[in-house]
Amino acid sequence: IKHSLEVEIIDAKTKEQLCFLDKVDPHSTIGDIKNLFYKSYPQWYPARQALRLDPKGKLLKDNEILQNLPVGTTATMYFKDLGPQLGWTTVFFAEYIGALLTYLVFFFRVPYVYSHTYAFTSSSHPVVTFACVCHTLHYMKRLMETIFVHRFSHGTMPLRAIVKNCAYYWGFSAWLAYYINHPLYTPPSYGELQVNYALFTFVMCEMGNLSIHISLRNLKVDGLRVRKFPMPTKNPFTWLFFFVSCPNYTYEVGAWMSFTVMTQCLPVAIYTLFGFIQMSIWAKGKHKAYLREFKDYPSVRMAIIPLIF
């Protein structure tokens, strides 16, 4: 049993020794080491720190325990500054509020968006109002989930990445809204029937997405995931867990496909396609992680689309 350890922290780029910690408890976590390092270098708060045992090795996780690492009495760690970081709650608020407000600028036809003739006028097509309500409720739901449903660890995102994410959400929101709220917009080919069916499907998918997020939240206790995989509950919306590992993404794609059918708008279809590609990548990653971790994981489950992939 190791009674105490020494920890040497070296700059991964310059190979200069930044810090030497003496008499460190072997039960300390990497998170504890980051906090000790932070006391010496207040400009590098723990979320900015990346620590590795090798300059190009795997990133050490905050919950890893020092004595469980392949180190001797002196643990040498290599430090890299990850740059300014933002918490996930801040990231999601910036993305979602921006997308929500951007859409409303076009819906209310704020001056200089379209011809001055149409400033602050309303569309004569009910589908335009339905689309605005759906889009608004979608992002209001996401904001409410960020506050009341999602449980974030201390994970962060680099400041430069949030600029890219906001550009994606805000830019697409503006593109969709410009065409849907345009004075020359024409309603879907099959009129009211097409709109009503798509509207119903959209609402069902949004309810399904929320149900899955609540189900996933219940797998976490104090922000830590219990070592078990999600299973269907009495809520029928969760029964999609019988067939896919990430039904929240399945419902999300379903909602945007419904929105596409309801508005019959090409930019919405392109946004849905991009979203589906990204969510498929996330779903496949999560699916593989479940298969690796759980030997009894249901073989019938696919990643995102039942019976397909």
Structure tokens at 254: 């379903």
| pLDDT at residue 130 greater than cutoff 60 | yes
Average pLDDT over residues 132-148: 97
Q: How confident is the model at residue 270 (pLDDT cuts 50, 70, 90)?
A: very high
Q: Which sequence spans correspond to the domains of the chain?
A: 5-83, 86-185, 188-309
Instruction: Read off the pLDDT of residues 44-65 as tens digits, 9 standing for 90 and up.
Output: 999 899 999 999 889 999 989 9
Average pLDDT over residues 72-82: 92
- Beta strand residue intervals within 64-202, DSSP E: 74-81, 85-87, 156-158
Dihedral of alpha carbons 94, 142, 231, 203, sign? negative
Please report the DSSP string for 217-240 in residue order. HTTEETTEEPSS-----SSGGGGG
Classify domain 5-83 at the CATH topology level.
Ubiquitin-like (UB roll) (3.10.20)
Q: What is the rounded distance in angstroms from the CA atom of residue 286 to the CA atom of residue 223?
A: 18
Chain centroid to CA 62: how far? Answer: 20
At residue 155, the pLDDT reads: 67
Q: What is the rounded distance in angstroms from the CA atom of residue 123 to the CA atom of residue 149?
A: 35
At residue 161, the pLDDT reads: 85
Contact in structure between 232 and 239 (CB atoms under 8 Å): yes
Average pLDDT over residues 279-306: 96
Contact in structure between 133 and 263 (CB atoms under 8 Å): no
What separation, in Å, do the N-terminal and C-terminal C-alpha atoms of the chain show? 47
At residue 303, the pLDDT reads: 97
Structure tokens at 103: 């859409």
| pLDDT at residue 11 greater than cutoff 90 | yes
Average pLDDT over residues 145-152: 88
Residues 6+ apart with CB under 8 A from 166: 94, 95, 98
* pTM score: 0.84
Contact in structure between 145 and 206 (CB atoms under 8 Å): no
Chain centroid to CA 178: how far? Answer: 26
Average pLDDT over residues 58-87: 90
At residue 1, the pLDDT reads: 47
Tell me the residue type at 92.
F
Q: How confident is the model at residue 88 (pLDDT cuts 50, 70, 90)?
A: confident
Mean pLDDT of the chain: 93
| pLDDT at residue 253 greater than cutoff 70 | yes
Instruction: Read off the pLDDT of residues 26-36 as tens digits, 9 standing for 90 and up.
Output: 999 999 999 99
Q: How confident is the model at residue 180 (pLDDT cuts 50, 70, 90)?
A: very high
| pLDDT at residue 222 greater than cutoff 60 | no
3-class SS letters over 87-99? EHHHHHHHHHHHH
Q: What percent of the chain has pLDDT over 70?
A: 96
Tell me which of 224 and 129 has the higher pLDDT. 129
